[in-house]
């Protein structure tokens, strides 16, 4: 409790800005201008560096365990699915959907709402809700897990959306002849379609008309200034790391009998 109060006090102090220092003269206008220009240059350099990292590489980095935990897979097999990395991956999922374009607007909105719902609960007490199991178990005990706005549903649909994304990426590298529209259709059929009601399915059919060309999507996936030669290896690495986490979450939802929930 003392530690938490200290942390909250530090956060308030930081948000209030730096304290004035006695005996230190104010910077001249020229010095302040130079600092601002230097800061702007640093921000531009950081932004350019981040753009070189594709969402796939960032996801691999997010899932890769510390060296001492590596045993050929991603998360330790016995541990419950962690909340924070899951939220990080969900944000990366949004960026991949953005690259597909307006066709994924409906799915993207659902993903965004589910992230916000889950993140809001997590931030109330990060240690308490450090794993997805704790979050879902809480709502199961309260009898709210099946409600439309529950965090349990958010976890389920975010996981299904990741199923869709990794299936699409794998098909992208496995088939050279199909268009992106065909690949999206195939991935949707085996991951999201079984759980969509007629409203969601109808919205998807309309959106399918707006899918970009495969070449454009691939170029956006690899990141700025990258040639894309290692894209297949990166997708395979991501699938190897991500699939055990998705399997653990699906098993957890089945344990609580929440794995068959559908949308309207």
Average pLDDT, integer, range 171-193: 88
Within its chain, how far is the Cα of 176 from the centroid? 27
Query: Does the structure show a pLDDT above 90 at 194?
Result: yes
Residue 138, Cβ neighbours under 10 Å: how many? 16
Average pLDDT, integer, range 217-230: 73
CB 166 within 8 A of CB 242: yes
Query: Does the structure show a pLDDT above 70 at 69?
Result: no
Return the higher-pLDDT residue of 185 and 29: 185
Average pLDDT, integer, range 157-179: 89
Instruction: Give the per-residue pLDDT at 41.
Output: 54
Lookup: tokens for 242 = 């991500």
Query: Does the structure show a pLDDT above 70 at 40?
Result: no
Name the average pLDDT for the chain.
78
Return the higher-pLDDT residue of 83 and 51: 83
Phi, psi (deg, nearest 5) at residue 82: -75, 145
Lowest mean pLDDT of 4-13, 77-86, 172-181, 182-191, name the range. Answer: 4-13
CA quadruple 141, 112, 241, 55: dihedral, nearest 10? -170
Average pLDDT, integer, range 165-188: 88
Share of the chain above pLDDT 90, in %: 39
Residue 36 binned pLDDT confidence (cut-offs 50, 70, 90): low
pTM of the model: 0.74
DSSP 131: B
Lookup: tokens for 99 = 């690259």
Query: Does the structure show a pLDDT above 80 at 17?
Result: no
Say how far apart CA 10 and CA 56 lie, in whole Å: 35
Residue 32 binned pLDDT confidence (cut-offs 50, 70, 90): low
Query: Does the structure show a pLDDT above 70 at 113?
Result: yes
Instruction: Report the helix count and the strand count for the chain, using DSSP H and E.
Output: 11, 0
Highest mean pLDDT among 107-111, 117-121, 169-173: 117-121
Instruction: Give the per-residue pLDDT at 22.
Output: 45
Return the higher-pLDDT residue of 229 and 11: 229
Query: Does the structure show a pLDDT above 70 at 28?
Result: no
Share of the chain above pLDDT 70, in %: 72
Lookup: tokens for 80 = 């419950």
């Amino acid at each position: 409790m003392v530690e938490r109060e200290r942390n909250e006090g530090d956060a308030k102090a930081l948000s209030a800005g730096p304290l004035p220092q006695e005996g230190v003269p104010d910077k001249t206008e020229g010095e302040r201008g130079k600092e601002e220009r230097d800061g702007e240059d640093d921000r531009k350099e950081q932004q350019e560096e981040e753009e070189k990292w594709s969402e796939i590489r960032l996801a691999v980095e997010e899932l890769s365990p510390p060296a001492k935990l590596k045993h050929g897979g991603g998360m330790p097999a016995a541990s419950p699915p962690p909340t924070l990395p899951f939220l990080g991956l969900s944000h990366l999922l949004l960026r991949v959907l953005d690259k597909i374009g307006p066709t994924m607007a409906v799915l993207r909105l659902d993903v965004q709402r589910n992230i916000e719902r889950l993140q809001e609960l997590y931030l109330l007490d990060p240690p308490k809700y450090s794993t997805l199991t704790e979050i879902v178990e809480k709502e199961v005990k309260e009898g709210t897990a099946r409600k439309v706005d529950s965090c349990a549903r958010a976890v389920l649909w975010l996981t299904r959306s990741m199923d869709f994304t990794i299936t699409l990426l794998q098909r992208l590298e496995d088939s050279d002849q199909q268009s992106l529209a065909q690949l999206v259709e195939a991935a949707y059929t085996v991951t999201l379609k079984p759980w969509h009601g007629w409203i969601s399915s109808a919205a998807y059919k309309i959106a399918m008309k707006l899918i970009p060309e495969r070449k454009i999507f691939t170029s956006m996936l690899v990141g700025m200034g990258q040639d894309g030669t290692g894209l297949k290896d990166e997708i395979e690495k991501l699938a190897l790391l991500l699939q055990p986490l998705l399997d653990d979450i699906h098993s957890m939802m089945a344990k609580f009998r929440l794995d068959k929930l559908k949308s309207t």
